[in-house]
Amino acid sequence: MKKYIVILSALLLCGSAFAQEETPAKFKLYGFIRNYMVADTRAVNAGTEDLYFYMPKDVSMKDGYDQNAGFNWRFVSLTTRLGLDVSGYKWGSMGISGKVEADFYCLNDKSLAILRLRQAFMKLVWDDCPVALTIGQSWHPVAADMPHMNNLETGAPFNPFNRSPQLTLDYAFGGGFSLTASMLYLNHYLPTGPNGKSKDYYKYGLPEFYVGLNYKGGKVVAKAGLDIVNSRPVRFTDDWRVAVNPPTIEVKSLLHAFSPFVFFQFTDGKFQLKAKSILAQSGEHLNLLSGYGVASLNDDGTITYTPMQDWASFVSFSYGKKVQTMCMLGYMKQLGTTKELAAELWMNTAADTKIQQAFRATPTVAWNLGKFTVSLEYNLTAAQFGRGVRNARGLYEGTPEWVLNHRFTCMTKFNF
């Protein structure tokens, strides 16, 4: 009997020691209730009940009248958010944190908002190890740093916007420097294609890759990185230009696109300045107004693709806490394809495909009263639309025309 008591005591001691290696997780529920009241002076290209604003619509004349001119407004509570943060879990020397986040969003029916997944990721760290590993759906490394504004699109298409499933490694060198390397999957933020953004046309290819160098020290944050997409637009064997009931699919050709970017942030007390610039190739998956086309049809059955280059930049500032003033200035310009076009050019279908360059200014004032915020924002967007025909680089040869839109936004938000 004594022998069994000793064995049981030893097992309990071992179990106790083993249990000490595991620290339970802590959970924090968070979210907000958000309302937008928005008015525009003309029709716009936008999503999510026209809250996610890309560009004003081009002039459409009929009987001497611009059909896209005219005041319109909307008032919705979309993008109200729910989230759960998980922290503190530890197994031996490994710590794990995580996030699950969702909001109400119009996906398939503009009149029906459903709960959709925004983020779902875990982050792994180890004691005395400079490596951190993020696994799951989170902000794209190029899109993570956003300008100061309260509009739903947070700067797009002047700032990249993308959340993707990813495997991201962060390595801290010391002295404020770190390296970020990511492997990402093109999921619901997709390049365009013959019938727009659809996985029916864009479900093959290699992973998307990102590599970047970061610095954080004192009042300064700086980043420089490169996003690489090697994807396979689908080719149909009956006629590569027609996508009507194709008998078979050949997937041979890769579209290569390289998008370098730089980011800078300076913070001093209640003042913060941000600036970002990206030279994007086929940057539609980053919600930029870009695209790609066909440079040649080859005898071996492959296609040589050529990406459209799009330069997008912003600078923004914020000052204050209880009463906060903000402003973003954004500029984007189409630079043409890297090779001359031999056939079709497919541009981002979320906005008008004739936009050649655009400018945006968004002065904003926000009152932060504890967990309640109300903000007023004026958004001036000027878009230049191409005229005539496209040249060999995908740019219009005719005299362009500028179109203005004045957007007024009132946002209320209660954080919990």
Residue 268 lies in a domain: yes
Residue 14 lies in a domain: no
Count the domains in the chain.
Answer: 1
Please state, in angstroms and as integers, the Cα–Cα distance from residue 389 to each residue in 59, 210, 354, 397, following that order. Answer: 17, 35, 10, 6
pTM for the predicted model, two decimal places: 0.89
| pLDDT for the residue 4 | 42
Residue 12 lies in a domain: no
Band of residue 257 on the pLDDT scale cut at 50, 70, 90: very high
User: Nearest CA to 227 among 312, 102, 325?
Assistant: 312
Residue 36 lies in a domain: yes
Measured from the Cβ of residue 113, the count of other Cβ atoms closer than 10 Å reads: 19
Question: What is the per-residue pLDDT across 108-142, written as a single tens digit (0 to 9) for each?
Answer: 555 677 888 999 999 999 999 999 999 999 999 99
* 8: pLDDT strictly greater than 50: no
Residue 20 lies in a domain: no
How far is it, in rounded angstroms, from Cα 49 to Cα 409? 14
- Cβ atoms of residues 225 and 260 within 8 Å: yes
Residue 45 lies in a domain: yes
Residue 41 lies in a domain: yes
The CATH code of the domain that includes 332 is: 2.40.160.10
Measured from the Cβ of residue 188, the count of other Cβ atoms closer than 10 Å reads: 15
Band of residue 195 on the pLDDT scale cut at 50, 70, 90: low
Residue 209 lies in a domain: yes
The whole domain housing 270 covers 28-415
Mean per-residue pLDDT, 277-299: 92
Band of residue 191 on the pLDDT scale cut at 50, 70, 90: confident
